[in-house]
Amino acid sequence: MYKRQQPYCQAKSGDAKHVGGVLVTGQDANKPVERREPNADMTTEQFKEAYRNKLYSLYAKTLEAASDKEKYLTLASLVRDEISRTWLQAKKLRAQQQENQEKQVYYFSIEFLLGRMLDIHMINLGLKDTCERGLRELGIELAQLREEEEDPGLGNGGLGRLAACYLDSMAALELNGHGCGIRYRYGLFEQQIIGGAQYEFPDDWLKYGYYPWEYRAADEAVEVRFGGAVRLQANGRIVYIHENYEAVSAVPYDIPITGYHNNTVNTLRLWSAEAELAKQACAAGQTDCRNTLQYKQSLESISHVLYPDDTYHEGKVLRLKQQYFMVSAGLQNILRDFRKMNLPYANLPDKVAVHINDTHPALAVPEMMRLLVDEAGLSWEDAWDITVRTMSYTNHTILPEAMEKWPEDLFRTLLPRIYMIVHEINERFCRELWDKYPGNWEKIRHMAIIADGYIHMAYLAIAGSHSTNGVAVLHTDILKKEVLHDFWEIYPQRFNNKTNGVTHRRWLLAANPKLASLVTETIGEAWLEDPCRLQDLTQYADDAAFQKEIAEIKRRNKQVLARIIQQKNGIAVDSDSIFDVQVKRIHAYKRQSLNVFHIMDLYQRLLEDPDLPVWPRTFIIGGKAAMGYYIAKRTIKLINSLAEVINNDKRIRDKIKLVFLANYNVSLAETIIPAADVSEQIPTASREACGTANMKFMMNGAVTLGTLDGGNIEIREAAGHSNIVTFGLTAPEVLQYYRQGGYNPWDIYHSDPRVKRMLEKLVDGSLSSDREDFRAHYDSFLHHGDQYFVLKDFAAYVAAQEIINGKYQDQKVWRRMCIHNIAHAGWFSSDRTFAEYAAEIWRLNEAAISCQDGCEQPGFSPIAKRLGTMLQ
């Protein structure tokens, strides 16, 4: 059931090999791969001169007078110049590709969690060494300047970071792929911990502008319309006239995405809402101009902030507006480009793939229908066929509360024409269901896109696209067998799995340069473009000298993190202790509370026996809780309250420390992950679609302590069962409980004295003077059925922690485990995932396959050829 489908990472030399991260078989495998050298011919002297000149021209300052921020912006600006040069070439190539009508992929996502860009661009362009050396000679440390870059928080967590990893892989694989999203004025909030609790502050990431990494393209703005009414005009054929709407200008900002050493620059296009059109509408008398300022603010609020709190009606309206704003702008832009090819619309699916990343961009389906039917004049049937063949959709969650649905009334008022189209899609879909299940009203109501006053976005995405994929084998299996079973029954060929991946260039090469250098010294640099080559490290798993170097690098990374913890939290931690890390969104199903319970129990045992044979441990937890998510916010308070008690208790002689690192984001992750010994991946089995932090930790040599869920299962397959520690209920067991009941947390409360003691401590004032602080947790475990099985898995988790403790004490065994994890992380590179999407969902290979011998003609990129061979 959990077998990986691709032989990727298992090829034997001679019959197949990996090129640019893609498995190549057949004749092409033996051809030398053409790699273009990075534009790195600048000498250190030239760099220094260019740097001084840039600083002078930007700020009219000498080096001595410039601030760190100015020095960073000077460097970034030089790198931008290099990108611009390459981008110009890339744009010419793209124009040529368009002329040659090569297929383009557009990845629509409401989140792109990019992280800082300076380092990655320098690496990709082959400039890093020159810059670092040149700066050092000027008396400037690159590491210090890097800290000056804002980290754009345009995402919540895994979903947004995945989108950013895919952009990186698309460019590395030289695929014609582009991102489409929103340029939020404010990203996800900045988290501060005050009195142990989370406080949210605006994430003002544009405070100093984003000048080095974005290009405003005002001349390519498009109009997006909200509200108003739709009038029908019958004039031979029915025409829909949308009037009295609010018009918003969607202005694109282009962020270049560079490819690794290949002169490729792709584009992430983020749309910003501006009210320019409001002025015009006002001048033309189409709108009420009495309060234009307020009107302008209301329109511009669309791209004001990432996921406004949608607890209130206004929040919901804004969120729906954001979704439509993004897809409408994105699709208008795509069709504008497509029309330049002078092809019939029927060819659109051969030239364009639109990917819907989770349901947030699912309005792409009805918007594409509107553009094709209302604006291009196609018949419904033709438009539907084109839409379905163009769209594909990824599901990222099975949590019922996370499955998006919109109240019909709200939808109708805000998007009247789109509502009509969704209504029609639903009618036709239900008729199809009726033909298949005549008389089965219950089933049809259950599957209807519009039902009980709501519009179900996942159903819309499935019905309106040719592919629905899950993000890990288990997750896809659950989608097929449980959550979307009815849909799988009618469209089995549409369902497929694409296990997530992460870019090894950011998460290993850039984040852990010492480890990356060691890997390169040991096995050569082929792994950078072909991450599967990491498996060549397995032969060194027992090599004492290699083990020692691995351990030394980990120790140094831990020292760096220890310094940060001291600075940020004022807590001294021992870098020889086990760094046990859980960093991710705070959510009940991810079970930070299980981690807390183990720490409470260990603390108690140490109080009872300070000589307990446990290796010293530093527990590090980080993550943001959604603003309106009460119990998650209380979990942060719980962690900090416990930390306060433990870190100040001399009796346990510093054997354990607990640290909550505030404002977890991509940059912080890049420091934390290389320093981790233990990677905590402990969600309730079946609830975590895949997880991606697990892969980043693995790549950096941490050992996973996890449940058999999502990507953990595949990590166990890849790394080997003895190189990961698993525990707890399995997904089938959990699903069985959800279906049939039979779990009573009180049984555990009464049978396990440790559990009883801990639960009592939540409400007896031991952790907080306000006994009500953690009442919600107490109630959720005992009075609300412990729906994430924290108590149920507690004993198994403690036992698994004992195994970790035991294995760590034998350093030879532990280092071996670390090396096996690194060596088998190649399969979890997003290059592999993306190649699968390209070949199996977007069918980029078809261009190559269909060209047969003609592949040599200009316009077919080498990757298309490689993908073409992948499926043979």
Instruction: Give contact residues for ligand F58 (rule: CB under 6 A).
Output: 156-159, 162, 307, 396-397, 471, 500, 688-692, 710
Q: Are 282 and 292 in contact (CB under 8 A)?
A: yes
Choose, from 396, 624, 761, 843, the residue flagged as catalytic.
396
Distance CA 436, CA 427 (A): 14
- Please indicate whether residue 585 is annotated as part of the active site: yes
Residue whose CB is less far from ligand F58, 103 or 504: 504
Closest distance of CB 158 from ligand F58, Å: 3
Strand 703-707 to 678-681 pairing: parallel
Closest distance of CB 469 from ligand F58, Å: 10
3-class secondary structure, 353: strand
Identity of the residue numbered 57: S
Distance CA 313, CA 414 (A): 13
- Please indicate whether residue 865 is annotated as part of the active site: no
Torsion on CA atoms 753, 754, 759, 760, rounded to nearest 10: 60
- CA-angle at 49, arms to 44 and 50, nearest 5°: 95
Residue whose CB is less far from ligand F58, 87 or 307: 307
Closest distance of CB 110 from ligand F58, Å: 7
Contacting residues for 12 by C-beta, under 8 A, at least 6 apart: none
Choose, from 475, 584, 617, 865, the residue flagged as catalytic.
584
Q: Are 457 and 366 in contact (CB under 8 A)?
A: no
Residue whose CB is less far from ligand F58, 307 or 619: 307
β-partners of residue 451 are 454
Q: Which residue is nearest to ligand F58 (CB)?
A: 158
- Please indicate whether residue 481 is annotated as part of the active site: no
Closest distance of CB 547 from ligand F58, Å: 31
Closest distance of CB 851 from ligand F58, Å: 33
How far is C-alpha 221 from the geometric centre of its chain's CA atoms? 27
β-partners of residue 681 are 706
Residue whose CB is less far from ligand F58, 550 or 838: 838
Closest distance of CB 626 from ligand F58, Å: 7
Distance CA 176, CA 265 (A): 10
- Please indicate whether residue 692 is annotated as part of the active site: yes
Question: What is residue 829's DSSP assignment?
Answer: B
Choose, from 466, 498, 633, 696, the residue flagged as catalytic.
696
Residue whose CB is less far from ligand F58, 24 or 484: 484
Closest distance of CB 398 from ligand F58, Å: 10
Identity of the residue numbered 481: K
Residue whose CB is less far from ligand F58, 162 or 725: 162
3-class secondary structure, 253: strand
Closest distance of CB 454 from ligand F58, Å: 17
Residue whose CB is less far from ligand F58, 158 or 349: 158
Q: Are 203 and 187 in contact (CB under 8 A)?
A: yes
Strands of 183-319, DSSP E = 187-194, 197-203, 215-216, 222-226, 229-235, 237-243, 246-258, 265-274
Closest distance of CB 3 from ligand F58, Å: 20
Residue whose CB is less far from ligand F58, 38 or 691: 691
Question: What is residue 152's DSSP assignment?
Answer: -
3-class secondary structure, 713: helix
Using CA atoms, how far residue 418 sits from 12, 113, 324, 649, in Å, is 52, 29, 9, 61
Locus of tokens 């594409």: 368
- Please indicate whether residue 584 is annotated as part of the active site: yes
Distance CA 208, CA 222 (A): 27
Using CA atoms, how far residue 221 sits from 147, 251, 277, 503, in Å, is 33, 4, 10, 32
Q: Are 547 and 833 in contact (CB under 8 A)?
A: no
Residue whose CB is less far from ligand F58, 263 or 322: 322
Closest distance of CB 156 from ligand F58, Å: 4
H-state helical runs in 524-664: 544-569, 592-608, 630-647
Closest distance of CB 71 from ligand F58, Å: 35
Residue whose CB is less far from ligand F58, 263 or 707: 707
Q: Determine the angle formed by the axes of helices 44-59 and 128-137, rounding to 10 degrees.
A: 70
Choose, from 359, 394, 692, 707, the residue flagged as catalytic.
692
Closest distance of CB 826 from ligand F58, Å: 18
Maximum distance among all Cα pairs of the chain, rounded to whole angstroms: 90
- Please indicate whether residue 590 is annotated as part of the active site: yes
Nearest to 712 by CA among 831, 703, 829, 498: 703
Residue whose CB is less far from ligand F58, 190 or 688: 688
Distance in angstroms between the alpha carbons of the first and the last residue of the chain: 24
> Rg of the Cα trace of the chain?
27
Distance CA 653, CA 636 (A): 25
Residue whose CB is less far from ligand F58, 171 or 690: 690
Residue whose CB is less far from ligand F58, 4 or 279: 4
Choose, from 585, 637, 687, 824, the residue flagged as catalytic.
585
Distance CA 403, CA 397 (A): 7
The answer to whether the Cα torsion of 752, 589, 158, 533 is positive or negative is positive
Closest distance of CB 590 from ligand F58, Å: 8
Identity of the residue numbered 455: I
Choose, from 590, 624, 634, 716, the residue flagged as catalytic.
590
3-class secondary structure, 611: coil
Q: Are 595 and 582 in contact (CB under 8 A)?
A: yes
Using CA atoms, how far residue 734 sits from 478, 680, 727, 789, in Å, is 12, 20, 13, 8
Q: Please list the active-site residues.
A: 396, 584-585, 590, 692, 696
